[in-house]
Structure 1
Amino acid sequence: MDFNRVVVIFVFYDYVYFAGTTILNDEFISNPTCKKHKIHSFENYQLFKTRSALECAKKCALDIECFSLNFLKTTFECSLNRGFIAENCSNAVYEKYVVYYEKKGKAQDCLHGGNRSSSPLYCDCIDGYIGDRCERLMQNCAEGCKRPYYHLQKKYFYILPPGTSQPIRIVCRMNWGGRDMLMQHYDSLYDFNRSWRELSEGFWSDPNHEEADGWIGLEHIHIMTRYTPRQICYEFKAMFEQYTSTCIEGFSIGNESNGYRIANLGPVQSPACLEHPVGAAFSTFDKDNDNNSTRSCAADYQAPFWYNENCARCNLLGSLNHPPGGNWSGDISDAFWEGLAFSPLSIKIWFQ
């Protein structure tokens, strides 16, 4: 297109008209449902001020990396994006004075590394992206599990829970219905008795291995449950492939300022290890938030947890000692589950 042919420009609310043609009509299409929406910032790769929407469109038209653009009419801010807004606007936020356009030549391309290897009509996505064009991240692992290209995978993915614009990297077990893995403990030498800051931010023994020991982080758990309570599940694996597990519906926690307190919790199934009451705050060795005035449960158990005034009837973040014979020694600093004689070989916590 010869942009030198532009002579007279009239700026209206949603289009830029000029003599002979309209760049936004020739080169771009709009998403009628999400016309006044701004794509999440992690899709932006350039952000700058321009004199008009036309200048913003010219930049995108000449840039092979640009798939779409936003132009904010109040600040003359132009953002060039590597992705598209999803048809349901789930990866964008409403902005009254913004306009959004997609480049026509890119409108049917697979995004974010996706390809059409299995079907000419749909994209096979990677890394947690879903949609006909891999245009958005899944909200949780269960949503991605429904896609055939993620079937039976067990690896790190990115998710984007409702209400946040920053993706979370998490191990998804698609082979078990799409589990969001919050905690995995296999190695007896790996220690979970860590500071408040570490428990808030999360940690992993190997951030590139799906079977690594680690903890997703309280802040991420808060984000994942802020708008929709989740079913939380715990599992002990013992010798001879013995498994004990339980799940609780309706789990959610508050933010850091209130101690990541349990905000909501459904009925506890048997075996009754997980009796944290609603309102129990999280405790670590350097931040005692239990309701016991005579002791620090986190210090006695040598593990962090949502303790109540009686501490807990289990220690899910305690040490894995793998004793001979497989039975629990009675030491509360070891991982244990009251009523179970065995000592676990591994422990997992996840959202289902």
Structure 2
Amino acid sequence: MRWVLIVPLWVFLDQSVTVEERGYSQVNTCVDLPTFNYKQKPTTSRVQCAVACSQEPNCMSFSIPMTGPSLCYLNNATFKHTGCSYGTFKHFSLEKSPERPCWHGGSYNTTTSDCICYNGYIGNWCQTLMQDCSEGWNLPYYNKLKAVFSIHPITSPYPFKVFCEMVHKGKLVILRNTPDALNVDFNRTFTEYKDGFGDLEGNVWMGLQRFHYLTNHRNMTFKVVVKTSGVAIKMTDFRQRFYNDFRVSNETDGYRFTFSASEIKPGTSALGDCLTDMVGLPFSTIDNDRDTKVGNCAKIHLSGWWYKKCGPCNPMGKLQPTSERIQNDDPWYIHMPIDGDLAALEVKLMLSYHG
């Protein structure tokens, strides 16, 4: 019998990478557990704690008790040197240096004397996270990428991951319903719609709470994009509509939305308007019926949405077979206001900064 020894990744890191090589320096201060501590994790070494901090978008320093339980305290601010060394904790702060000027794993560009950032960090030294995708789309190291990034809107108490299309001012995906990814069931509870579900790189619903944070930190445009069968056989087309200054309220208010104007951009194929009549309505799900119809629209359509009388939009409905060119009358399929009632082959809902 052959035995395989499985060794945790941190063991190798502990032997090959020092705390200093990860960009942290010990700070001499008599502060014990700081007020800016936000998380604790079990640890066996300073390096393992440094690894944990480097993987947290909000972590700027960490603390380890000199005696007692082996815990790693992650902090969202850095310490200042006071020259004191009699505290009960050892503190390590993320610091720039001439040799390692870039924070959060950024690479120093000696030609331009600034940093190439990763994972959603921006700034000359990769010191902050983007508020949304629009803050990174025109940076040379993010431009044209379509990938998962970390962001931190100022209205959110925590950072979170999103899928960004770094083109045309940066677009953040709220919903993707496509046959080109693993199927996701959109017939979900209110809690699931609040928290989000699916795969950021596939079919996904970002979540109402994040939708609220994203639309209340600055003016955002909500973009509805529907891929349809074309007028001619074997052709496809994209229909678009834009909603400016789009805002989603908080959970207490039912995640109601408002916007200032609806428009179609010149040169794009028209998509009908199915949100104006829904302004001010709360979000409905199978277990939280808040539409204006007798009965539950979410149960009829098998998906959550801002329903009034069960129409005319159902972007999170089931996808029709690609061979079908006309919208199916069955209520559980995707329904969108498209000229000629052409079938929706894919739906994306996205946000971008409306500056």
User: Structure 2 length normalisation: TM-score?
Assistant: 0.68
- For residue 291 of structure 2, give the secondary structure of its aligned residue in structure 1: coil
Deviations 1:164-195 (A, max 9, x none): 34111000000343101111111384321211
Instruction: Give the corresponding residue for 1:131.
Output: 123
Query: Would the aligned equivalents of 1:186 and 1:347 in 2 still touch at CA under 8 Å?
Result: yes
Deviations 1:33-68 (A, max 9, x none): xxxx97998224424799xxxxxxxxxxxxxxx994
C-alpha change, 1:45 and 1:231, in structure 2 (3 Å) is same
- For residue 276 of structure 2, give the secondary structure of its aligned residue in structure 1: coil
* 1:227 aligned onto 2:237: no
* 1:265 aligned onto 2:259: yes
Deviations 1:293-319 (A, max 9, x none): x121211222111112x3331211111
User: Structure 1 length normalisation: TM-score?
Assistant: 0.69
- 1:108: Cα distance to partner? 6.3
Instruction: Give the corresponding residue for 1:256.
Output: 251
Correspondence for 1:43 among 37, 49, 59 = 59
C-alpha change, 1:166 and 1:329, in structure 2 (3 Å) is same
Query: Would the aligned equivalents of 1:71 and 1:77 in 2 still touch at CA under 8 Å?
Result: no
Instruction: Give the corresponding residue for 2:185.
Output: 191
C-alpha change, 1:106 and 1:348, in structure 2 (3 Å) is same
**Identical-pair percentage:** 26
Query: Would the aligned equivalents of 1:276 and 1:307 in 2 still touch at CA under 8 Å?
Result: no
Tell me which amino acid in the other structure corresponds to 1:317: M
Question: Hey, what's the Cα distance between the residues in 1 that align with 2:158 and 2:220?
Answer: 20
Alignment gaps of 5+ in structure 2 = 1-25, 28-34, 40-57, 67-75, 230-234, 264-270
Question: Hey, what's the Cα distance between the residues in 2 that align with 1:44 and 1:186?
Answer: 38
Query: Would the aligned equivalents of 2:320 and 2:328 in 1 still touch at CA under 8 Å?
Result: no
- 1:163: Cα distance to partner? 2.8
- For residue 261 of structure 2, give the secondary structure of its aligned residue in structure 1: coil
Kindly indicate which of the two structures has a greater share of residues assigned to helix.
1
Question: Hey, what's the Cα distance between the residues in 2 that align with 1:317 and 1:223?
Answer: 21
Correspondence for 2:148 among 131, 151, 156 = 156
* 1:241 aligned onto 2:236: yes
- For residue 158 of structure 1, give the secondary structure of its aligned residue in structure 2: strand
Question: Hey, what's the Cα distance between the residues in 2 that align with 1:82 and 1:232?
Answer: 39
- 1:126: Cα distance to partner? 0.3
Tell me which amino acid in the other structure corresponds to 1:186: T
Question: Hey, what's the Cα distance between the residues in 2 that align with 1:213 and 1:152?
Answer: 21
Question: Hey, what's the Cα distance between the residues in 2 that align with 1:271 and 1:241?
Answer: 17
Query: Would the aligned equivalents of 2:322 and 2:345 in 1 still touch at CA under 8 Å?
Result: no
- For residue 149 of structure 1, give the secondary structure of its aligned residue in structure 2: coil
- For residue 306 of structure 1, give the secondary structure of its aligned residue in structure 2: coil
- For residue 231 of structure 1, give the secondary structure of its aligned residue in structure 2: strand
C-alpha change, 1:121 and 1:278, in structure 2 (3 Å) is same
Query: Would the aligned equivalents of 1:70 and 1:80 in 2 still touch at CA under 8 Å?
Result: no
Query: Would the aligned equivalents of 1:38 and 1:70 in 2 still touch at CA under 8 Å?
Result: no
Instruction: Give the corresponding residue for 1:110.
Output: 102
C-alpha change, 1:157 and 1:104, in structure 2 (3 Å) is closer
Across the aligned residues of Structure 1 and Structure 2, the Cα RMSD in angstroms comes to 3.2
Instruction: Give the corresponding residue for 1:302.
Output: 302
Question: Hey, what's the Cα distance between the residues in 2 that align with 1:222 and 1:78?
Answer: 39
Tell me which amino acid in the other structure corresponds to 1:279: G
Alignment gaps of 5+ in structure 1 = 1-26, 29-36, 51-65, 84-102
Query: Would the aligned equivalents of 2:60 and 2:78 in 1 still touch at CA under 8 Å?
Result: no
Q: Could you list the runs of 4 or more consecutive aligned residues of structure 1 that deviate by over 6 angstroms after TM superposition?
A: 37-41, 76-79
Instruction: Give the corresponding residue for 1:217.
Output: 207
Question: Hey, what's the Cα distance between the residues in 2 that align with 1:275 and 1:47?
Answer: 52
Question: Hey, what's the Cα distance between the residues in 2 that align with 1:244 and 1:118?
Answer: 45
- 1:104: Cα distance to partner? 6.8
- 1:146: Cα distance to partner? 2.1
Tell me which amino acid in the other structure corresponds to 1:138: M
- 1:325: Cα distance to partner? 3.7
Q: How many equivalent pairs are there?
A: 274
